[in-house]
Every structure is written in C-alpha cells, then in structure tokens.
Amino acid sequence: MKTRATTTVHGHVIILTLIVCLLLGTVLVGVISLSTNEGQMTGRSQSWNGAIPVAEAGIEEAFTHLKYCPTNRASNGWTLVADQYIKSRTLGSARYEVAISTNYDPTIISRGGIRAPNQTNYIVRTVRVTATNEPMFSAAIEATDGIFFKGSGVTINSYDSRDPNYSGPGGVYDPLKFKDKGRVVCHYGPFDMQNAKIYGRVETGEESALTMNSGGVVGSILWHLNNKGIEPGWHTSTQSSEISPVDAPPGGAPLPPKVGSTYAFTNGTYRTPSLSGDVVVKSSNHVTIIVKVDSNNPAQQAVYGVRSLVVEPGASVKLYVDTPDVALKGVQNKNIRAESFMYYGLSRNVNISLQGNASFCGVLFAPNASLGIGGGGSDEIDFLGAIIARIVTVNGKMTFHFDEATTRLGSRGFIANRWDEL
C-alpha cells in the first residue's frame, strides 16, 4: 500500500510572499512619504527664496512713488496710517505690503510673501531700506556748462531761514549770522571766479576748469579771516551732473481779468500763452502761473513781458515759463523766504536776464537757460535763494545768500543707502 506525504511548501511560499509584499509596501510608503516631505521642503524653500523678490517688488514700487510724488506721498493708492504711508498688492500667489515713513529721508519696509505649498498661509520675509532724499537745490549756484563772475566782485555765503540761530526775526537774512554752506557747482565748461569770496565749497567736473585771481577766496569762515586762495579740501569733484528737467503741471484756468494793466491773482493754477503787464499776487494766496503754448499749436511761441511782479506778504508764486527769452525785472517778493517765489524755466527757455539793483528773493530753476545777472546795489542783500541754470554770468558786484531751507523745495530722487533683512 502506498502512502501520500503532505507538504507545506505552498503555505510557506504564500507567507513569504506576503512578508515580501509587506516589506515592499513599507519601503514604498517610506519612499512616498520621503518624496512628499522633500517636495514640501523644496516647495517651502522655493517660497522662502521667492519671498525676497516679492518684497523687493514692494521696495521698487515705493521708490517709484517717491520719484513721482516726492512731497504728496498720500496719493496713487497710498494711505497714511499713523506715521507711515501704506500700500499692499496681490500678485497671484504672492503678496507684499510696503510702508514709507513720513521722514524727509524715508525708511521703507516691505513684507513680501508667497503662499506655502498646499496651504493658505504665506511664507513672509521682510526687507528694510533706508533712503536719502537728494535735494533739488543744494548749492547757491549750480551750472552745467559754465560760471563767469565778472566785474567788481562776488560774495557768496549761506543762512537758514528756518533756523533762528542762522537768521533774523521770522527768517530774514542777518549778516551777523551767516554760514559757510554757500556751495558753488560747475559740472562742465569754465568756472572763472576772479576775485569772488565764497564762504563754502566749490565743486567742478572733470571737464570743468576753475580759474581765479589773487584776491579770490574759497573756504570756511575762519579761513576767510586771514587767508587767500582755496582752503585745503574745499575744492572737490562733482558727484553727479544729473539735473532732470521739469514740466508744468496739467490744467489751469484762464487769466483773471485785468484792472487797468494789472492782473490780480488769487488761489489757483492759471495757464496762458502770453503774459504781460503787471502781476500782483494778493496776500495769503498761493498761485501757479504757466506761460506755455497749447500742445496743439507747436508753431506758436509763448510770450513773457511782465513789467513787475509783486508777491504780497503771506502769498507765494510758482511761475513756469516756456518762452525763449525772459527778462525777470520788477520782481518784488515781499516775503522773507525764497520758497515764496519759484521760477521754472521749461525746455524752450534758453535766456534769462535778471537786472536791477533791488534785492531778489526766490529760486531759479532753468537747466536749459543762460542766466545773466546784472550788478547789485550797495547793500548786503542782492540775491536770497538758489540758482540752477546751464550757464551763469554775473556782472558787477553781487552778494548771494544761499537759503539752506530751499533744500526742502524739491527732489532729484531717492537713493538707497542701506538694505537689511529683518
């Protein structure tokens, strides 16, 4: 009789197969988990790295806003909250919130974030930039193509109408309180200072040549007491020659009706292709006058023929002129601050003459113009304010007093001088 032997090989194979599958499954789950974690870490890392460009986009928007709205920062969607101007923007899965401080030299803080992978929260990084506001007016006289002091002598110094330590009552110039910040800048072309006395620094460009006579002096107040020539370190090279032109603001009402030969202006902006006769800006009124032809009539030429321009106490004038030749005569700024009369020569304004012995108080910005200034009187005050022009020629005796308060009257732009991640 035969007997059949029973084996358990098939059972062992099944068990072994199950164990192998379990191990493979465990390994597969581990690999999937590792890949998922690595993917999440990679995604978070990419979001972390990408948050900086988003924050920098906020910084760029802040600088653009400051460039075009240096004084009116609460515009174009920016909102003043406490002591900061705030704006936020969403860009797909990214977002930034940027703040500009109210300081003259502002601090910008931008928080940029990108949404975390498969989540609703943002991975955020914060950048802080401190900026310097480069003023439009930083010198008594600044010219691009040449400065010529002719005649019996020129004296230049500075004062600060906003600081009682360096000005008289209400900000008037006091000859006993002047400073040595009467900076003079010539970027290109000759600078012939002859026997000028400059209480301040002189800056010239690589293509500008400074010449002076034996009686000329440049330097500090102490240097002027016992020395001639240039104080060591007070003649340096210019850092930049960028003087951006300005254009007139848009809009403007027609001129007010004349009373006799006189226009009496009140608050507002006025636009005209021709202005002549006498102009009076009444007390406590702030007026912008634009002398410019309509853009639809390019062949037409603006005309400026004002005989006298009176700015009464408490009033102010911004005058934009786009005519080739301008004789600035009869300007009587009865205020004691240069900011009360601001002259802007536009692109077609190429010649300006400033004549007469009466003292002039104001700022002149005419980067395309050759400015000729006649001799002043015998008093201590001939010119209060600041000048920017293409060429400046001074004939006869003149005393220039740079009002340091004019450094707040415009901006050439904002320069980032420090960048930190918080």
DSSP string, 143-156: EEEEEEEESS-EEE
Residues 155, 97 share a domain: no
**Higher pLDDT pick, 289 / 238:** 289
Asked if residue 246 and residue 119 are part of one domain, the reply reads: no
**Interval 400-417: pLDDT, tens:** 999 999 988 887 778 888
- Output DSSP code: residue 379: S
User: What's the mean pLDDT when you consider all of the chain?
Assistant: 86
Q: What are phi and psi of 49, to 5 degrees?
A: -70, -35
Q: Annotate 273-298 with b (16+ C-beta within 10 A) or e (fewer).
A: bebeebbbbeeebbbbbbbbbeeeee
CA dihedral 74, 79, 82, 83 (to 10 degrees): -40
> Is 18 a member of any domain?
no
Cα–Cα distance measured from residue 134 to residue 362, given in angstroms and rounded to the nearest whole number: 20
Q: Are residues 83 and 167 both part of a single domain? A: no
Residues contacting residue 407 through CB under 8 Å, at least 6 positions apart: 135, 137, 138
Q: What total number of domains does the chain contain?
A: 2
Of 110, 135, 160, the residue that ends a domain is 135
Please check the confidence at residue 24 and state whether its pLDDT lies above 90: no
Q: Provide the pLDDT confidence category of residue 356 given band limits of 50, 70 and 90.
A: low
Task: Determine which of 148-162, 172-186, 295-309 has the lowest per-residue pLDDT on average.
Answer: 295-309
416 domain residue, yes or no: no
Token pair of 18 as six digits: 């199950």
Q: How confident is the model at residue 33 (pLDDT cuts 50, 70, 90)?
A: low
**Does residue 218 sit within a domain?**
yes
Q: Which of 109, 135, 161 is the last residue of a domain?
A: 135
For residue 125, the enclosing domain spans 33-135
Q: Please name which of 342, 389, 382, 405 lies closest in space to residue 156, comparing C-alpha atoms.
A: 382
Q: What is the pLDDT of residue 15?
A: 79
- Both 289 and 392 in one domain: the answer is yes
H helical segments located in 195-235 = 221-226
Dihedral over alpha carbons 143, 144, 146, 147 (to 10 degrees): 10
Which of 22-31, 88-97, 193-202 is predicted least confidently? Answer: 22-31
Query: Is 6 inside a domain boundary?
Result: no
Same domain as 158, residue 129: no
Residues 38 and 161 both lie in one domain: no
Looking at the domain assignment, is residue 422 inside a domain?
no
Pair 162, 301 in one domain: yes
Q: How many CA atoms lie within 13 A of 105 on its CB side?
A: 10
pLDDT surpasses 70 at 255: yes
Please check the confidence at residue 363 and state whether its pLDDT lies above 70.
Answer: yes
| Alpha carbon distances (Å) from 415 to 320, 355, 422 | 27, 38, 20
Each residue's pLDDT tens digit, 210-220: 999 999 999 99
Q: Determine, yes or no, domain membership for 7.
A: no
Q: What is the DSSP letter of 116?
A: P
Nearest CA-CA partner of 50 in 107, 116, 130: 116
Q: Indicate whether 240 and 149 sit together in one domain.
A: yes
- Strand residue runs (E) in 212-293: 217-219, 229-230, 235-237, 258-259, 262-265, 268-272, 274-281, 286-291
296 with 375, same domain: the answer is: yes
1 assigned to some structural domain: no
Residue type, 105: D
* 240: helix, strand or coil: coil
Q: Is the pLDDT of residue 279 over 80?
A: yes
The reported pTM is 0.77
